[in-house]
Amino acid sequence: MPVALLALAAAAFAIGTSEFVVMGLLPDMAQDLGVTLSQAGLLVTGYAMGVVVGAPVFAVATARLPRKATLIALASLFVLGNLLCALAPNYGLLMAARVVTALAHGTFFGIGSVVAAGLVAPNKRAQAIALMFTGLTLANVLGVPLGRIIGEHYGWRMTFAAIVLIALAAVASLAALLPRHIEMQKGDILREFTVLADGRVLLALATSALASASLFVVFTYIAPLLTQVSGFANSAVAPILLLLGVGLTIGSTIGGRLGDRRLVPSLLLVLGLNAVVLGLMHFVLPLRAPIVATMLVWTTLSFALVPLLQTLIVQHASAAPNLASTLNQGAFNLGNATGAWIGSGMLAAGAPLADLPWAAAAITIGALALASWSSRLGERAPSLQPA
């Protein structure tokens, strides 16, 4: 694999740490900001909606700009957003800072996925995308647990200050390692929106949104689930997050390999297994060892879906890969926002934390149904070419 993929993975690590670290800090942030746990959970929704809004807007705005310069600029905006998070004095301004941080997220991963795929041979594209997204999963192995530890000892603002330093290093790696000239697909980005007339593209986007919503119904509230339901001490949360991050990394790698072999059958299998594991999670939440093992399997399956779905959308929208890949990041984060919002709504309505996996399982079954429908459209229909 080209060394330039490491630069993309480094930026993905910084972005992933910022996105996911809130889950480990949620109870501390809620207490410090004087808001409820469900209100703090909406910080995840705010970030995700920033991605949803920013992805298509930035895709159009940067369509004719050089890929390397665009990726560096997007990563630099991310640095600024995290700096604002560290300095935000109250909940409202923190929410605004999270939205600013998120604006660059979708377009970075959308363009980055296409760049990563273009750096390797066609039969290695899913693995290249998976390698870039390994930075995202390593954020859960290292970034989120370390962010939790920093937040415990020095306050959650110092966690975001540390992310600023990581993001600056990522910007430097992009400048140093990415090729100076990266081939761009010619065409009108606005006309590329005609790929949305392809039913397979729409179904793939909807599947991504539901798969992500299922993950974030539970993952947003991982810290209170572990402490308030499973009975772990606060000090045990960081090590468990570290273990779950290992599962995320393994899942992303497995998903990349499966995607290069049997894409659609692998997607259906992983979704089905994920629904079963989420249903089991409800029953084992009070049991410490079984819940950790179950969550490890769950995170592995959940992140195996990421390269599978990202490869699927690039395959179905081969005429407009930059736009489709970026829109898929918007779909992922629309799911993030929806999942966090569903979880927040359930808790605000008085539902126990232990019921969150039931909602996640139901959403996963919906994603499986959409993926099955998409597979029936089959490969008999060619990808729609932009007008």
CATH number at residue 279: 1.20.1250.20
Res 383: pLDDT: 43
Query: Is 267 within a domain?
Result: yes
* Residue 332 in tokens: 């992922």
Q: Which domain holds residue 132?
A: 4-377
Distance of alpha carbon 303 from the chain centroid: 9
Number of domains observed in the structure of the chain: 1
pLDDT score at 188: 58
The answer for residues whose C-beta is within 8 angstroms of residue 120's C-beta and 6 or more apart is 1, 2, 127, 128
In a domain, 202, yes or no: yes
| Residue 386 placed within a domain | no
Residues of the chain with pLDDT under 70: 1, 183-192, 195-196, 318-319, 321-322, 377-387
Q: What is the pLDDT of residue 281?
A: 96
Q: Is residue 142 part of a domain?
A: yes
What pLDDT score does 74 carry?
92
* Nearest partner of 137 among 349, 354, 376, 304, judged by Cα: 304
Please write the tens of the pLDDT for every residue from 278-297: 999 999 999 999 999 999 99
Q: What is the pLDDT of residue 384?
A: 42
Whether 383 is in a domain gets the answer no
70 contact partners, CB below 8 Å, separation of at least 6: 62, 107, 111
Q: Is 25 within 8 Å of 238 (Cβ atoms)? A: no
Q: Is residue 387 part of a domain?
A: no
Element (H, E) at 294: helix 288-316
Is 186 part of a structural domain of the chain? yes
Res 378: pLDDT: 56
- The CA–CA distances, whole Å, from 192 to 69, 136, 186, 200, 276 equal 22, 28, 11, 15, 38
Provide the whole-model pTM. Answer: 0.75
CB atoms within 10 A of CB 153: 8
